[in-house]
A and B are shown apart, each in its own frame.
Chain A
């Protein structure tokens, strides 16, 4: 079974790809960070373990691509779904990338921690893609891990059981902390618009100031624009300097997509996008 370093070395040496986007260990620290391997020697710096938190697919969006030619990318299951989704939305063709799929046994919620049941990232608790659904080369590895209770699921049920007034109060309290840095957007592989709706000012739809009014508008619209597109990598929540539980909003829309349309984002590169298509039999009980 070829190792990650071996695979990357071959790809770079043969010229099959121009660069490989992967992870390297941050010196002296218990964490990894994105790394662009450009020469076969660079391949030795690549690592993959429970601290490979980043969804590297964000570097495949047009503005952030590290090379013009073919790109190799190290991808966990969730990252591979983002790559697939980019293909579904015609942002990438299958030939633009060489996906090095990594079998994954979970990553930690935060940088620096060791992996345990308590430090496991929320997205890994309900993960169904330990083996990436899309890969040109698959690097096998451990893919079993102990899963704690679904804390976020319990939190969602708690929120859903509240009255609308209580839910609004909860989210107003969360959104109130938003500083409008747009880190959520920048960290998201699906937020690739050349100009974001938040930055349009003729007319200006979303208030720029970090007032509660503007923050509600921004956070609701950000979540909506990811409806049926979010693959649940949760990078937005991890990037948020205000600790707003954005993942819950994304998960809610993911659930609606699943329940109402039997749809999961980024599982099939040839499938149409959820809101890019329609069906005569779509449910409509709520329409008078």
Chain B
């Protein structure tokens, strides 16, 4: 992998240059709610020692709500209008590895049989500049799902802050290479030190072996352990909504009047009681234990089985936000213990 160096001032200039070219730049909001657009190059948030924001940048590629088409009824017909295709180029600046990885995980399910043009248009127009993560708490477990604070997986460029105030730049993809080529004056020759910095941030200790978890889940669909897990869960689904890779959606028609409206694609989550409720009233996942089994199984067993990726980046958001303290890292570790 090619490596470059960029000074702090040049990074600001690089960001400003992107804004001038019409890119939207998003980075972690200082108030910790989520990713927001920055107005100037100097406001890009590169501080990864702080706690990750409550929301990831999932909305950038998979908005919480978006129109699939607009409809209008006439006397004898229903007219459909496509929304304008998404063409806005966006750079995610300073994503931690656990967020950066999300697009490549979701890309697999959105291109499995049906190609989701909405997701793809957004993902193709998004460039991810990842950065070394300096934060870790008891809810983090990136090291248990094949990532680390310095993992470049999912980033187009990856920055490692060096002691001189500049950054080591790892050029991960074509998209990243293009940025470097376009700005020869800003990216200099690589300097040593990135490995030493990465070594001082090993991240959280490994909590479980994901392969063990996967094996146990695939053999224990009816284990009583699942019912125990669902006991205190309130089914609030904040875990799924704050997850960088949860990608379930619902399709709803939203009328403006009797004649016109639009069909919307909205986030949905397996933890809600309505998620699998049939029109007949029957619900195959009729209690929280079954719903929690689905969540854990999908993340650690079904998705890896089908797509070769764990549907979890170990960011810890679900645990941090859970009002009743359900800890998915602890649960996976518990399952690994049963294996």
Q: Are A34 and B33 in contact (CB under 8 A)?
A: no
B324 within 8 A of A: yes
Identify the closest chain B residue to A174 (Cβ). Answer: B33
Q: Are A183 and B232 in contact (CB under 8 A)?
A: no
A64 within 8 A of B: yes
Residues of B within 8 A of A35 (CB): 232
A14 within 8 A of B: no
Residues on A lying within 8 angstroms of B by beta carbon are 26-29, 31-36, 53-54, 58-59, 64, 66, 111-112, 177, 179-183, 185-187, 199, 207-211, 214, 235, 238-243
A-B pairs with beta carbons under 8 Å apart, 21 shown: A59-B232, A64-B234, A66-B231, A111-B325, A180-B267, A181-B236, A181-B237, A181-B238, A181-B240, A186-B236, A186-B237, A187-B323, A199-B274, A208-B254, A209-B65, A209-B254, A210-B266, A214-B254, A239-B234, A241-B54, A243-B32
B188 within 8 A of A: no
Residues of A within 8 A of B209 (CB): none
Query: Which B residues between 266 and 283 are near A, CB-CB below 8 angstroms?
Result: 266-267, 269, 272, 274
Q: Are A36 and B231 in contact (CB under 8 A)?
A: yes
- Identify 19 new A-B residue pairs, CB closer than 8 A, beyond the known A33-B232, A180-B64: A28-B138, A31-B325, A33-B326, A34-B232, A35-B232, A59-B232, A64-B234, A177-B34, A180-B266, A180-B267, A181-B238, A182-B237, A187-B234, A208-B264, A208-B266, A211-B264, A239-B323, A241-B242, A241-B321
Q: How far is the CB of B270 from chain A (nearest CB, A)?
A: 12
In the assembled complex, the Cα of A210 lies from the Cα of B249 at a distance in Å of 12
B235 within 8 A of A: yes
Query: Which B residues between 54 and 73 are near A, CB-CB below 8 angstroms?
Result: 54-55, 64-65
In the assembled complex, the Cα of A66 lies from the Cα of B231 at a distance in Å of 8
Closest 9 CB pairs of A and B: A33-B325, A183-B236, A186-B236, A181-B241, A183-B238, A209-B65, A241-B242, A209-B264, A241-B238
Number of interface residues of B (CB under 8 A): 37
- A32 with B241: in contact, given A181-B236, A186-B236, A210-B266 (CB under 8 Å)? no
Question: Could you say which of A33, A66, A179, A187 has the most chain B C-beta atoms within 10 Å of its C-beta?
Answer: A179
How many residue pairs link A and B with beta carbons under 8 A? The number is 104
In the assembled complex, the Cα of A199 lies from the Cα of B274 at a distance in Å of 9
Question: Could you say which of B34, B54, B64, B272 has the most chain A C-beta atoms within 10 Å of its C-beta?
Answer: B64
In the assembled complex, the Cα of A187 lies from the Cα of B264 at a distance in Å of 27
B40 within 8 A of A: no
- A26 with B237: in contact, given A209-B254, A209-B264, A242-B33 (CB under 8 Å)? no
Q: Are A27 and B330 in contact (CB under 8 A)?
A: yes
- A183 with B241: in contact, given A211-B65, A239-B323 (CB under 8 Å)? yes
Q: Are A209 and B232 in contact (CB under 8 A)?
A: no
Q: Are A241 and B241 in contact (CB under 8 A)?
A: yes
Question: Could you say which of B231, B252, B324, B330 has the most chain A C-beta atoms within 10 Å of its C-beta?
Answer: B324
> 0/1 per residue, B6-49, Cβ < 8 Å to A?
00000000000000000000000001111000000000000000
In the assembled complex, the Cα of A105 lies from the Cα of B326 at a distance in Å of 25
B327 within 8 A of A: yes
Q: Are A179 and B267 in contact (CB under 8 A)?
A: yes
Question: Could you say which of B31, B138, B232, B242 has the most chain A C-beta atoms within 10 Å of its C-beta?
Answer: B232
Q: Are B234 and A32 in contact (CB under 8 A)?
A: no
Q: How far is the CB of A238 from chain B (nearest CB, A)?
A: 6
Residues of A within 8 A of B324 (CB): 33-34, 54
In the assembled complex, the Cα of A112 lies from the Cα of B232 at a distance in Å of 19
Q: How far is the CB of A58 from chain B (nearest CB, A)?
A: 6
Residues of A within 8 A of B31 (CB): 243
Q: How far is the CB of B213 from chain A (nearest CB, A)?
A: 18
Q: Are B238 and A210 in contact (CB under 8 A)?
A: no
- A32 with B264: in contact, given A177-B34, A241-B238 (CB under 8 Å)? no
Residues of B within 8 A of A243 (CB): 31-33, 54
Q: How far is the CB of B194 from chain A (nearest CB, A)?
A: 31
Identify the closest chain A residue to B63 (Cβ). Answer: A210
In the assembled complex, the Cα of A179 lies from the Cα of B63 at a distance in Å of 10
- A239 with B238: in contact, given A54-B324, A182-B272 (CB under 8 Å)? yes
In the assembled complex, the Cα of A214 lies from the Cα of B320 at a distance in Å of 27
